[in-house]
A and B are shown apart, each in its own frame.
Chain A
Amino acid sequence: MEEQKEYFRWVESTYVNPEMDWRKAEIVSAGIDVGSVSSQMVVLCDGALYAYSNTRSGSSSPSSAKNAMDICLKETPGLTLDKINYLVGTGYGRINIPFAQKAVTEISCHGMGANYIYGPTVQTLLDMGGQDCKTLRLNEQGKCLNFLMNDKCAAGTGRGMEVIAEILKVPVTEIGDLSFDIDEEPEPVSSICVVFAKTEATALLKMGWSKNKVLAAYCGAMARRVVELLNMLTVEKEFAITGGIAKNKGVVKRIEKLIGIEALVPKMDSQIAGALGAAIYAKAFYKRQKQ
């Protein structure tokens, strides 16, 4: 029997900074971002990145949070939950993380996380998450001044991409490169509603379109919808992207082309931005608590 390949799967990962010793830190703060598609944990030592995990979410928020934590702390020698001074939860499941001291929205956390990853010059942040897509206006401290969310449809979301990956039987991690391996950029599909995606994709393939061309059309359509959202808040440089789809060149490059601005290149996995921001807030809350 043919093995059922899961095209939506992407690689889970962990990271530990080998040069840091958490025991030497004054404040060990952590953040957990529980999303519908992925969950991350980030640990900071005195505000500097020490460790993180990037995992697939499970069926419940508490179990997703615990899983992300277990995987992260497995790599950190001797660091256990009780040694963490303060933990903030964020994301879709933020109010259901039993071991978090406080919950802060992913909007505030992404801003703070982006500020860490990209620096203080980021004014426009685009986060393309698992089930929603948002644009933030940030100041130099990473504070959110204004935001717009689209959680009504799959445009610019991980879920939307996963559906296409499954329909076309292409691993989601390869979509970006494949979408550029074409002769000519096609017109973006008119309806990128995932409900119709299967019908539309089948029709295009029947018309003789290659898989890559269909991917290009979908990435193009997604980019367009995302840019509509971006333009509602206007795009001010510098522009940066967080979230799973930040890794999808197919969508990112097309967005950059439409807005005429290149996104900053992250020096680490931008999918951790939410948990990172949560960990930064955790440190600040701990300090305030001690005063």
Chain B
Amino acid sequence: MTETLKTLEEIRKVNASFPFSEPARKWKEQGKKIVGWICINVPEEIIHAAGMLPYRITGGDEEITLDRANEYLFSGSTCSYSRTILELQLRGEYGFLDCIAAATPCEGVIRLAEVGTHYHNIPILPLLDIPRKINERAYDYYHGEVVGLKKNLEQFFGITITDAALANSIAVYNKTRVILQKLYDMMKKDTPPLSGAEMMEILNAAVRMPREDYNILLGNLLKEIETTGRALPAQPRLMISGAVLNTSSFIKGVESLGVNIVADDLCNGSRYWWEQVEAGEPVRALARRHLLAQCPCPRTNPQHMRSEWLMETAREMRLDGIIALTMRNCAPYILNLPMWKTKLEDQGTPVLDLDIEYGGGFSGQVRTRIEAFVEMLSLEVEI
């Protein structure tokens, strides 16, 4: 039973207008502000508590030409994700943002912020400095950074962010995490209720609309799944791993080969929503959760945390294979992959290392490799 869910149609409307979504447009028409953010270490809750709409800056559902961005960020070394964002900024498509809150997760994003600021005119707040190794000192340090973000937002907009507002925002965003966890758990079934492509559309909408409204949509989605008993056919179960991936059409292409994408290791996927903010002093709790959620970004040390999470997930989600989308020039991902690939293979989960560009479509060379991988996993015939 795989009819389109009504809620999914609502979600598609949100994603249809990119990058300036309908909800964002309505928000601005009310005279309210939008703060763009890059990198999941930036606590959206602070922006939300300030009364602004936090809006993730990404590329859309198709690859675009990057001629303008390539003039300022060298294409031979900067990842296509950073250049796509810069291109959109240079074209003025993110002009609706009042300012940007970004961090220092990796070189691509750092240079995007620092170089971009000379060539486009969206104000960027001082970058949040993210430690690359997790220990108590790093948590303390990061707490200081998040305090800084709060102060910078207050100063920029001439407002005050109260603890009560923060507590409320945390509750709102935690709600999302709870529901997404429920959806993710449903993907453990042999016959999951959603395809990976649909999950991606759902995730894309999260960061392009007011969170309260999104939570309502998510709640409706859960209900709809439960009442319709939606179930996709049981097929080989794969995970997509990578840096950032926003193109649901790509996932659709992969799934058209006869597989279900039941899990993800993506910056805008499970790494984004996993783990709630705990109770306690809100800024400290936010810093803690946002420095390290359970499934760390490849840039994080010590790296065994990632290997362990991936091995655990492969077992829990009963993965038949993993497609590792290695975006060209994403050094954290490239250098982290050897640390877990052999371990996953030894554990019985084959891994396909596929090099791609951000926003790249599912066609030709990419298709052949993925198809061959799927055949490797599932083409069992008596010869």
Contact of A284 among B350, B371, B381 (CB under 8 A): B381
Chain A residues positioned under 8 Å from B368 (CB to CB) = 105-107, 149
Q: Is B379 among interface residues, defined by CB-CB distance under 8 A?
A: yes
Question: Which of chain A's residues 127-174 have a Cβ closer than 8 Å to chain B?
Answer: 141-147, 149, 151
- A227 CA to B372 CA, complexed, in Å: 22
Contact of A287 among B371, B376, B382 (CB under 8 A): B382
- A284 CA to B380 CA, complexed, in Å: 10
Q: Is A281 among interface residues, defined by CB-CB distance under 8 A?
A: yes
Q: Is A67 among interface residues, defined by CB-CB distance under 8 A?
A: no
Known contacts being A149-B368, A149-B369, A151-B365, is A107 close to B375, with CB within 8 Å?
yes
**Residue of A with least CB distance to B351:** A146
- In the complex, how many angstroms separate the beta carbon of A91 from the nearest chain B beta carbon? 10
Q: Is A112 among interface residues, defined by CB-CB distance under 8 A?
A: yes
Known contacts being A144-B372, A149-B368, is A108 close to B381, with CB within 8 Å?
no
**Residue of B with least CB distance to A148:** B353
Chain B residues positioned under 8 Å from A149 (CB to CB) = 365, 368-369
Chain A residues positioned under 8 Å from B381 (CB to CB) = 281, 284-285, 288
Size category of the binding interface on chain A: 20 to 34
Q: Is B1 among interface residues, defined by CB-CB distance under 8 A?
A: no
**Residue of A with least CB distance to B371:** A105
Q: Is A104 among interface residues, defined by CB-CB distance under 8 A?
A: yes
- A47 CA to B381 CA, complexed, in Å: 14
Chain B residues positioned under 8 Å from A284 (CB to CB) = 381-383
Q: Is A217 among interface residues, defined by CB-CB distance under 8 A?
A: no
Whether A108 pairs with B379 at a CB distance below 8 angstroms is yes
- A151 CA to B379 CA, complexed, in Å: 24
Chain B residues positioned under 8 Å from A281 (CB to CB) = 379, 381
Whether A108 pairs with B382 at a CB distance below 8 angstroms is no
**Residue of B with least CB distance to A104:** B375
Chain A residues positioned under 8 Å from B379 (CB to CB) = 104, 108, 143, 281
Question: Which of chain B's residues 192-225 have a Cβ closer than 8 Å to chain A?
Answer: none
Whether A144 pairs with B375 at a CB distance below 8 angstroms is yes
Over the window 353-381 of chain B, the binary record of Cβ atoms lying under 8 Å from chain A Cβ atoms (1 yes, 0 no) is 00000000000010011011001100101
- In the complex, how many angstroms separate the beta carbon of A31 from the nearest chain B beta carbon? 13
- In the complex, how many angstroms separate the beta carbon of B346 from the nearest chain A beta carbon? 13
Question: Which of chain A's residues 239-288 have a Cβ closer than 8 Å to chain B?
Answer: 280-281, 283-285, 287-288
Most buried by A among B369, B375, B379, B383: B383
**Residue of A with least CB distance to B379:** A108
Chain B residues positioned under 8 Å from A144 (CB to CB) = 372, 375-376
Chain B residues positioned under 8 Å from A285 (CB to CB) = 381
Contact of B376 among A106, A108, A280 (CB under 8 A): A108
Over the window 80-111 of chain A, the binary record of Cβ atoms lying under 8 Å from chain B Cβ atoms (1 yes, 0 no) is 00000000000000000000000011111000
- A146 CA to B371 CA, complexed, in Å: 13
Whether A108 pairs with B383 at a CB distance below 8 angstroms is no
- A143 CA to B375 CA, complexed, in Å: 10
Whether B375 pairs with A108 at a CB distance below 8 angstroms is yes
- A149 CA to B371 CA, complexed, in Å: 13
Chain B residues positioned under 8 Å from A283 (CB to CB) = 383
Chain A residues positioned under 8 Å from B369 (CB to CB) = 149
Q: A144-B375, A287-B382, A288-B381 are in contact. List 14 more A-B contacts (CB 8 A).
A: A104-B379, A105-B372, A105-B375, A107-B375, A108-B376, A108-B379, A143-B379, A149-B368, A151-B365, A280-B383, A284-B381, A284-B382, A285-B381, A288-B382
A/B interface sample: 12 pairs, CB < 8 A: A104-B379, A105-B368, A112-B383, A142-B383, A143-B379, A144-B372, A145-B376, A147-B376, A149-B368, A281-B379, A284-B382, A285-B381
Closest 10 CB pairs of A and B: A107-B372, A284-B381, A105-B372, A108-B375, A105-B371, A284-B383, A151-B365, A144-B376, A105-B368, A105-B375
